[in-house]
Amino acid sequence: MLSLRYPAGYPVDGFIFFKAMSQDGASQFQEVIRQELELSVKKELEKILTTASSHEFEHTKKDLDGFRKLFHRFLQEKGPSIQPYEKIKARGLPDNISSVLNKLVVVKLNGGLGTSMGCKGPKSLIGVRNENTFLDLTVQQIEHLNKTYNTDVPLVLMNSFNTDEDTKKILQKYNHCRVKIYTFNQSRYPRINKESLLPVAKDVSYSGENTEAWYPPGHGDIYASFYNSGLLDTFIGEDNLGATVDLYILNHLMNPPNGKRCEFVMEVTNKTRADVKGGTLTQYEGKLRLVEIAQVPKAHVDEFKSVSKFKIFNTNNLWISLGAVKRLQEQNAIDMEIIVNPKTLDGGLNVIQLETAVGAAIKSFENSLGINVPRSRFLPVKTTSDLLLVMSNLYSLNAGSLTMSEKREFPTVPLVKLGSSFTKVQDYLRRFESIPDMLELDHLTVSGDVTFGKNVSLKGTVIIIANHGDRIDIPPGAVLENKIVSGNLRILDH
């Protein structure tokens, strides 16, 4: 039995052959199938393009051309140097740090919706601290830099078609801030039917029934979209792309100790139990490569998750030379592994979307480097469990930056697991009268119908489980230290 396989061992349901063939015959047959499929996809995309209006035509054509290249690679594919942050920081900062900062452009990925946490609109507009959103904090950080060092570091947001409109409306509130803000849109690619491998979309619209037919193709699309937007050429003199600014890392890039500039730097940090799925760096053929869990065969997933074997993971804080991006983009030389992401649409149709990850391009750049940074440089918020951490007294807020509180005795972050009753931000906020004191917390698990009163303190390991039909109200002022709470506990008003 022979099956045609996609990258990462993804089987194609429609092509399973029960007749044995020679290796050459099989390869020729598979090549014919590939060519026919590419031709079919080309025809479908051309049909879609004919539905574009005159003002939509150019950018839609670029998007569909980009998708065709990605799809071609998808059919064709067959189956580190790490510096400690302390060493980079020990070099100190030069007197001309302002001129170094003026060679920086800060780019934030802003294409994601807050749907996984029950929110409508961009995830960056979710409130974090004192009614400040993630976007507010980002603007405050850069404004503080510009005021402190008398610089003009710009902020660039990569929106998606899902977030662009809402983001542009909210940007008006920053008109008087000392930060120039620019936006561009990442590409819009068509989802493909898992069975036929043809696009689901029939025209260019993304409203009504066609809403689910399109998707933003992952953050690896930043290179092509940034180039196509014209902003890359606008900022080429600035020299470096960065995420969350660190002056010591920036100085290391602009003034390398060995005189050899790094074109790509990835911030990594030590793995904890909460990060076992994070991508890691490996060295192969003299180049750094990013390995994501989606690329790992099932038999080796537990090995990949091992904290002892793979000690670091990618934080997705990246520093990239703009000149190098321009050179590689024009040479069509940015190579990123394809991530095949299966989805089921609301109507039950099984589709796949082809994505790439921004960090996977590391192998395409010269003299790439990983820097092992403190955990405090990495504050992901993908769930309400993460949100609880950043809203708590574990972190102090200063000029838009969240830093671990000096009152926390351990540098590690507690492991927090909130159950399904807390998934949506609205429900999560309703269940906390105030955010508990978590300075001495190691581990928190909450499951079921649980609420917290004001001024609750959590220490050590705390597990609270309300079984189906039960409810637990943690009373105001309660101190839970190394406790398991289960059953039914109601605090009634009288």
For CATH 2.160.10.10, the residue range(s) in the chain are 384-486
141 marked as part of a ligand binding site: no
Q: Give, rounded to a whole angstrom, the gap between the first and last alpha carbons of the chain.
A: 72
User: What's 384-486's CATH class?
Assistant: mainly beta
What confidence tens digit (pLDDT) does each residue in 166-190 have? Answer: 999 999 999 999 999 999 999 999 9
pLDDT number for residue 240? 56
How does DSSP assign 409-449, residue by residue?
A: SSSSPPEEEE-GGGSSHHHHHHTBSSPPEEEEEEEEEEESS
In sequence order, the β-bridge partners of residue 440 are 459
What is the mean pLDDT of the segment spanning 318-339? 93
What confidence tens digit (pLDDT) does each residue in 208-251 have? Answer: 778 899 999 989 999 999 999 999 999 886 655 655 789 999 99
- Cβ–Cβ under 8 Å, residues 413 and 439: no
pLDDT number for residue 215? 92
Can you tell me the distance from the alpha carbon of 267 to that of 36, in angstroms, rounded to the nearest whole number? Answer: 42
Is the C-alpha dihedral spanning 338, 341, 342, 348 positive or negative?
negative
407 marked as part of a ligand binding site: no
pLDDT number for residue 4? 28
What confidence tens digit (pLDDT) does each residue in 124-170 have? Answer: 888 888 889 999 999 999 999 999 999 999 999 999 998 999 999 99
* Architecture of domain 84-377 in this structure: Alpha-Beta Complex (3.90)
Can you tell me the distance from the alpha carbon of 159 to that of 166, in angstroms, rounded to the nearest whole number? Answer: 10
- Does 206 score more than 60 pLDDT? yes
pLDDT number for residue 455? 96
- Whether 277 sits among the annotated catalytic residues: the reply is no
**47 Cβ contact partners less than 8 Å away, ≥ 6 residues apart:** 202
219 marked as part of a ligand binding site: yes
260 marked as part of a ligand binding site: no
- Does 358 score more than 60 pLDDT? yes
- Does 319 score more than 90 pLDDT? yes
What confidence tens digit (pLDDT) does each residue in 438-449 have? Answer: 999 999 999 999
pLDDT number for residue 80? 63
What confidence tens digit (pLDDT) does each residue in 378-411 have? Answer: 787 888 999 999 999 999 888 888 888 989 988 7
Can you tell me the distance from the alpha carbon of 372 to that of 270, in angstroms, rounded to the nearest whole number? Answer: 7
Torsions phi, psi for 436 (to 5 deg): -60, 160
Q: Where are the alpha helices (DSSP H) in 211-300?
A: 222-229, 231-235, 247-254
What is the mean pLDDT of the segment spanning 321-336? 94
382 marked as part of a ligand binding site: yes
Average pLDDT over all residues of the chain: 85
Per DSSP bridges, beta strands 457-465 and 479-486 are: parallel
69 marked as part of a ligand binding site: no
Catalytic residue, from 382, 407, 454, 459: name it: 382
pLDDT number for residue 2? 24
pLDDT number for residue 10? 33
What confidence tens digit (pLDDT) does each residue in 41-97 have? Answer: 999 999 999 999 999 999 999 999 999 988 888 887 654 678 999 999 999 999 889
Can you tell me the distance from the alpha carbon of 14 to that of 290, in angstroms, rounded to the nearest whole number? Answer: 31
pLDDT number for residue 1? 21
What is the mean pLDDT of the segment spanning 113-124? 80
What is the mean pLDDT of the segment spanning 428-443? 95
Closest C-alpha among 358, 103, 129, 380 to residue 245: 103
For CATH 3.90.550.10, the residue range(s) in the chain are 84-377
What confidence tens digit (pLDDT) does each residue in 239-298 have? Answer: 556 557 899 999 998 888 888 889 999 999 888 777 777 888 887 777 888 888 877 778
pLDDT number for residue 258? 80
- Does 14 score more than 80 pLDDT? no
